[in-house]
Structure 1
């Protein structure tokens, strides 16, 4: 394999699993049906006092804010006592601004990885198709290893992993919300994040497995063809 093909294959192998993981996260996080189902399973209406009929509208406003389609997180909703009130306090507003900033950064990384991935695959298609197949296979295996490591850590102690990730990502402690006072943490409690994590892992794992199988198959086929071609030349 020539140097330019090797370098391009390495880049593809790195950006591919990152692109798949962020895309899987985006698909899972902004799935309206999944979010509403979790609100129901976690009895959010009962724990927060938000009227059940208000939850779909609240969901849409949360999504709009995270996608940058809404300027602020000052969301109002009707409580069970028929009062139309703001749902979130100042700490929750600050934290969600941080979350939106994190998602914006993820979108930028996703876009950069997507461009590099597409460019790399196109170049390898013309330069070295065996290298392209190997890059996809290697990137998929790397992604599966990351998922397995993360999954094992979460199974061992999800709460500890969750808190450690927040301490690493956020520069303040506004993410540490009291369930007895915070509406936000009761809208998205720990069971929600467990279900969300499983959903992200499942989506990404399926993509990795399919691509690993495809990449491995085509890599083997192309290697066999090259071997047969070289064997014929000898004779």
Structure 2
């Protein structure tokens, strides 16, 4: 018993002081599955989740690992009770169709309660067609705009929405969230998007979006500019 306690203590120290700090997430997963004490090592679940690497737990051959499945589902229920995406991701990996269905039902019930209680929903009921664009722009999150547009079967001028949210309000997180779900409007492609990115105050986000959209002249300019190069090299060197 004393031996496994020492192993667990050493694993915790190694995980926090070295592996997570150096972003060796694959080694964290190997350490967890190698020792196999999942309930004693949920801090690795925490580290992977905090660093957006939770899905790495599902890349190994885990379909037949009942103990890992149980530990993951228990962790999500206890520590991430509102995260339906992760629950479904784990359930799908283990082909748990019934659990996925139950989770969708629970999520739908929760969403209905939120719709009844959240202030923003009070502003989006029984809207006229002429009020929809303004209501969409007023919503703080991009996913809320998608929900509203689908509920009313309405296709807003997304270029105008992005102009209002990103250019005028400076919310580039809104732009990134939008890109996860839909392609950018044609009117924002090419040079128009390049001009849009010039308004981004966050240097790393500016570089990341420029690079992803193949504006290599902008990306290289940021890497060579003495005002931004050191910061970007530090950020890129840690990824």
TM range (shorter): under 0.3
Structure whose residues are more often helix by fraction: 1
TM-score, scaled relative to structure 2: 0.24
